[in-house]
Amino acid sequence: MKIRVLGSAAGGGFPQWNCNCRNCAGVRSGTMHTRARTQSSIAVNGNAADSWALVNASPDILTQLQANPVLQPARAPRDTAIAGIILVDGQVDHTTGLYMLREATRPWPLWCTDSAYADLTRGNPILQVLSHYCGIDRRRIDLEDGFAVDGVPGVQWRALPVASKPAPYSPNRESPVPGDNVALLITDEVLGRTALYAPGLGAVEESVWDAMQTADCVLVDGTFWTDEEMIALGLSRKRARDIGHLPQSGPGGMLEWLEKLPPRTRKILIHINNTNPILDETSPERAQLRRRGVEVAWDGMEIVL
Ligand code: MLT
Ligand code: MN
Ligand code: ZN
C-alpha cells in the first residue's frame, strides 16, 4: 500500500493568500527554510496500478493532480486514476475540490458519513450542485463497519468517529455528533500493515488511541503548535481546541501522545496551519520534532507500508 500526500497544509494553504504572518511572508519571499504546501488531501493505492482512492477533495486538487502525474494514466481520451473519493468530514478544505472534478465521465463513488452527507446537501449543498454535472454515487460510511473502495483492491478502510468540529455551516458546529469528523484506519490486506489518518483531531479518545497504538504509521493533526497560536498572532479569537484541533505542545498535547507510541511507529504530522512554527525547518520547534522522531508531511511525500 502506498500513501501519497497531495496536500499537507490546513485550510488556507501555505502561504495563505491574505496572510502576512512570519511563515507566510517567509515562504513568499523565499527567505525561510521551508516549502509551500497545498490544502489537505492524500491518495491511497493498493495492489492495482493506476488506481487510487482520493481522501478529501482539496480546493487545490487541480494543482495536486498536475504535481502527481501518476494520477493521470491517460488510458482513454478522458481518464483518471482516481477510482473513488472518501471524505473525513464536510469541511471546505476537504470538499471544495469536488467542484473541480465535475467533468468526470461517471458519477463519483463518494464515501462519507451520514452527518457529512447532511452538511453537504443542506448547509453547503455541494452535492446537489454536482448533480447538474457528473453527480455522485454516494456510499454510506457506517461507523460500525469497515469498507472497501471498488477499484482499489488490497486496501480495507475503517472510519473511527473522532472528537473535532464539523464545518461552521453545520448545525452541529457547537455540538458535534459521532460521524461529523472521522479518522481513517487504512489497512493493507496482504501485509496486514495499517496507517491511521486523522487530519482533524480535537482530542485523543480511547478508540483513536487504540488505533494509534496498533498502526504502523500515524498521520495525525499537525494544525497548531499551541492552543493560542492564532490569538497570539492577532489573527483570530479562536483557540486551536475551539475549532477542533489538539495542539502539539503543552500538557495533553499531541507530542505527549506520540511519545507514548512504540518506537517502531512512524509518526507524521499533517494538515499543518500556515502559522505553525514547525513549518520553519530551522525553528526550535522543528528541532524538537526531530529529536522526538516526529516527521512533518510535505506535498509529494510518499509513504510505503
Ligand atoms: C479546519 O480543519 O479547521 C479547516 O482547515 C478549516 C477550513 O477549511 O477553513
Ligand atoms: Mn481542515
Ligand atoms: Zn500565515
pLDDT of residue 144: 87
- Cα–Cα distance for residue pair 247/224, rounded to 1 Å: 5
Q: Model's pTM, two decimal places?
A: 0.98
Contacts of 125 (CB under 8 A, 6+ apart): none
What pLDDT, in 10s, does the model give residues 2-49?
999 999 999 999 999 999 999 999 999 999 999 999 999 999 999 999
Query: Percent of the chain scored above 90 by pLDDT?
Result: 100
CA of 28 to the centre of ligand 1 (A): 21
- The answer to whether the CB of 71 falls within 8 A of the CB of 80 is yes
pLDDT tens track for 80-125: 999 999 999 999 999 999 999 999 999 999 999 999 999 999 999 9
How confident is the model over 139-163, as pLDDT tens digits?
999 998 999 999 999 999 999 999 9
Which protein residue's CA is at the shortest distance from atom 1 of ligand 1?
11
* Residue 240 CB–ligand 1 contact under 6 Å: no
SS3 content of the chain, % helix, strand, coil (to 5): 25, 25, 50
User: What are 127-140's pLDDT values in tens digits?
Assistant: 999 999 999 999 99
Range of the domain at 70: 2-304
Q: What is the pLDDT of residue 205?
A: 97
Atom of ligand 1 nearest to the CA of 94: 8
Helix (H, G, I), strand (E, B) or coil at 210: helix
* Domain containing residue 109: CATH number: 3.60.15.10
Determine the distance separating the centroid of ligand 1 and the alpha carbon of 78, expressed in angstroms. Answer: 32
Q: Which helix (H) or strand (E) holds 99?
A: helix 97-100
Protein residue with its CA nearest to atom 4 in ligand 1: 11
pLDDT of residue 30: 98
Closest ligand 1 atom to 39 CA: 5
3-state secondary structure of 270: strand
Q: Three-class SS of residue 193? A: coil
Lookup: cell for 194? 495499517
Q: How many domains does the chain have?
A: 1
- pLDDT tens per residue across span 187-236: 999 999 999 999 999 999 999 999 999 999 999 999 999 999 999 999 99
For 91, other C-beta atoms within 10 Å of its C-beta total 29
- Ordered strands of the 217-221 beta sheet: 146-147, 155-161, 182-188, 194-198, 217-221, 266-270, 294-296
